[in-house]
Structure 1
Amino acid sequence: FCRTISSTSVQASDIRPLPVLRETMDYLLHLLDSSEHQFEIVHDFIFDRTRSVRQDLSIQNIVNAQAIQIYEDVIKFHILSHQKLSRSSQDSDASSLCYLNMEQLMKCLLSLFDMYDVIHKNNSQSSKETEYYSFYVLLHLGCKIPKMVDSLSLWYGHLSASIIQSKEMVFARSILRFYHLGNFKRFFCAIAAEGTDLQLRLLEPFLNEARVRALMYFNHSGYKLQHHPLTHLSEILMIEELDLETLCRLCGLEISNNEDTKAFAPKQASFCVPASIPQINGIYISRENQR
């Protein structure tokens, strides 16, 4: 799996045909549910082999519905890894894996978009196109992601109106807008109510970044005597109250306890954005939590 595309020693017999690549991808996705080894080990194994699958597709210059489905599955693997690795990112090895995984996710998305452009010329399209385009938009929420190729406004100009107006893209653009406007109630409500499973998994590692940003806004607003109850904030930010308290203390906020109600006073000069924001287990927002 160290073979490079430029290698002169590659024989035709070394290249796997499309049906074999499809079977390989199915096998690798099946391994994602393995509990025999730690996820980091499973991730490394699948990571190397999905790169090899993509190499074989590139060498053969295969661009069709089956090849696109394989790329979509590779991206699905990277999104699931993005979620799971972020939960253990306090470990330095896991942090490096997170970065490499994100880097490959971006490369796969851009390659997939090129493949979409090719099949569009034949009046064909993938049923998952709009969702996968939305992933690129949602990745702009993160502050530690690889540098994007173009600004979003320029990138939108290359997309058709049907893609821009799709529910997946409307959702992604709304989430980005709510975040930048500081409308965190609508931000979290929209995520819980409208996001697809993969969109939610992609967003999960960014949610605590959004919560810290919200706490900064709450701390800078209001009067010193008008405390912010954690019970109320936990409902807005969709996080367990104990986890929110941990996040507040990590940001340097002093929590008061009055008649069994925990709250913090605004205008605390001790507030700071943590250099490392932990990914708390259980912050994944599912529709079941909203019923």
Structure 2
Amino acid sequence: MSSYFDFFCQNKENESREKSTQNEDRILGTCYSMCPEDEVKLREAERLVHVLEVWGSERRLVKSYSRSAADSNMAVPHLLRPYSVLTNTVQYLLLDVTRRMDVPVPVLYDFVNDRLRAVRQDITIQRLIPTQCVYLLEPMIRFYVYYGYVLSGHPLKDYDPVLNKKYLLECLKWYLSCCDSIAKDQGNIDELSGFFSGLQVNIRESKTKLVNDQVLLESLYILCNLDDLHPLYRYLKMTKDLKRQEKLQLSYQIAIANLQGNYVKVCRLSGKLCPLLYCALSTYLPKLQWRALNVMCHAYNNKRLTVPSTALVHWLCFSTERDAKSACSHYGLKVNEDAILFDRSEFKTDARLHIPVIRNITKKFEVSLIDIFTYETSK
């Protein structure tokens, strides 16, 4: 199996051929705790309880991800969690565990990522219907976008951005495929956005709820694939109701400006983005800044005249003048006090990307971490 998304698509094809037979064969989980009893006993005996599963004197174990082996049977009902338990598990991981401050952020990310993979594994084995999949996948996508930004400056030994992008796109494509399936089954895609916005996941007793925001995720699909034309084709095929959404229009405009090489416009429009869309674009900024500086080396190529570093901050979304000058020096350009000398013969086209200083997203937008996982673009 190359991915859960591929397996889901294969199941959809099988459903169209053998719908009644498949419904009879579908496995229903009977584990009503976040971790099966068998795994709890094994991990406690082997001392494999994670520090994030310990809350004072209490232990809250969450099912860990395990690779399927040729000689193992994972389709066992008492090892699988039903939809309601999976929902509670996702909410617990994102709304409770992510607030822990007693471990480094990369450790927290690895733990939550592993447990979310186990959730997707249970979804796949049980072949949950699309309307259930979307509510489980949406908060996972927020998780990968947010931590992809927060951890972007960490070394590879602590965080792998390629792997994070893989999980992000897998969840995004799976989510959008489910949306398309729901729209097709309903026979009226115009009602899809309203259908989602009117429903909220509120399984556990709490005022804080995970939500399902299709507009946000359609926008993320565009901004997470700025070098890909497929999201733009998808946008053009959308209904008028979806196209009218401000955040979706903004994401499309940014993608078009990027394709046209208008990097200054991309950075100018980024000021209107919501927190998660800003995170998605920010992970692309190093590549955009490299391209823009390369273009400027040809446009402003001169042995004497310089460009003020303050202009670069304004044009290319650098956090500070210091960050702008650091990037220019990294690519071989000469920095004279508060100005940059653009000499195309000095520009290092083979240099690794310069990662800018990461801003505290919660302070920038004056939101909490919980808000990141629960806000809606329509409000």
* Same topology, TM > 0.5: yes
- The offset of 1:110, in angstroms, is 0.8
Change (3 A) 1:210 1:283: farther
Q: Distance in 2 between matches of 1:59 and 1:119?
A: 20
**Deviation string for 1:213-251 (max 9, x for gaps)?**
222222211362432111222122232001101001001
- 144, 159, 162: which one aligns with 1:78: 144
Instruction: Give the counterpart letter for 1:100 in structure 2.
Output: L
- Structure 2 match to 1:132: 217
Q: Distance in 2 between matches of 1:139 and 1:78?
A: 11
Matched, 1:278 2:358: no
1:269 aligned onto 2:345: yes
Residue 114, structure 1, aligned to residue 177, structure 2? yes
Partner of 2:263: 184
Aligned ranges 1:86-235 → 2 under 5 Å:
86-88=152-154, 91-95=155-159, 97-120=160-183, 121-122=185-186, 123=188, 124=192, 125-127=195-197, 128-141=213-226, 151-152=230-231, 154-156=233-235, 159-192=238-271, 194-222=272-300, 224=302, 225-235=304-314
Whole-angstrom distance in 1 between the partners of 2:295 and 2:135: 42
How many residue pairs get aligned? The number is 274
Larger-gyration structure (1/2)? 2
Residue 104 of structure 1 deviates from its aligned partner by 0.8
Which residue pairs with 1:19 in the alignment?
A: 84
- In the alignment, is the contact (CA less than 8 A) between 1:228 and 1:263 conserved in 2? yes
Q: Which moved more, 1:150-159 or 1:209-218?
A: 150-159
Counterpart secondary structure, 2:336:
strand
Decide whether aligned partners of structure 1 residues 220 and 85 sit closer, same or farther in structure 2, where only a CA change above 3 A counts. same
TM-score normalised by structure 1 residue count: 0.84
What amino acid does structure 1 have at the position aligned with 2:343? K
Identity %: 23
Distance 2:270 2:298 in 1: 25
Letter in 2 for 1:254: K
Following the alignment from structure 2 to structure 1, what is the Cα–Cα distance between the partners of residues 301 and 286?
Answer: 25
Deviations 1:27-75 (A, max 9, x none): 1102123221112211111111111111222222222545312210111
Contact 1:135–1:199 (Cα < 8 Å) also in 2: yes
Tell me which residue corresponds to 1:145: none
Give the superposed CA RMSD.
Answer: 2.6
Q: Give the Cα separation in 1 of the matches to 2:300 and 2:360.
A: 27
Change (3 A) 1:34 1:279: farther
**TM-score normalised over the length of structure 2:** 0.66
Query: How many Å separate the matches in 2 of 1:152 and 1:159?
Result: 11
How far residue 180 of structure 1 moved from its aligned partner, in angstroms, is 2.8
Give unmatched runs, 5+ long, in structure 2.
1-64, 198-212, 367-379
Letter in 1 for 2:157: D
Q: Which residue of 2 aligns with 1:245?
A: 325
Indicate the residue corresponding to 2:26 in structure 1. none
Question: Aligned partners of 1:119, 1:136: CA distance in 2, in Å?
Answer: 18
Residues in 1 aligned to 2:89 and 2:360: alpha-carbon distance in whole angstroms? 33
Cα distance in 2 between the residues matched to 1:265 and 1:99 = 34
d(CA) in 2 for partners of 1:157, 1:199: 20
Q: For residue 140 of structure 1, give the secondary structure of its aligned residue in structure 2.
A: coil
Amino acid in structure 2 at the alignment position of 1:104: Y
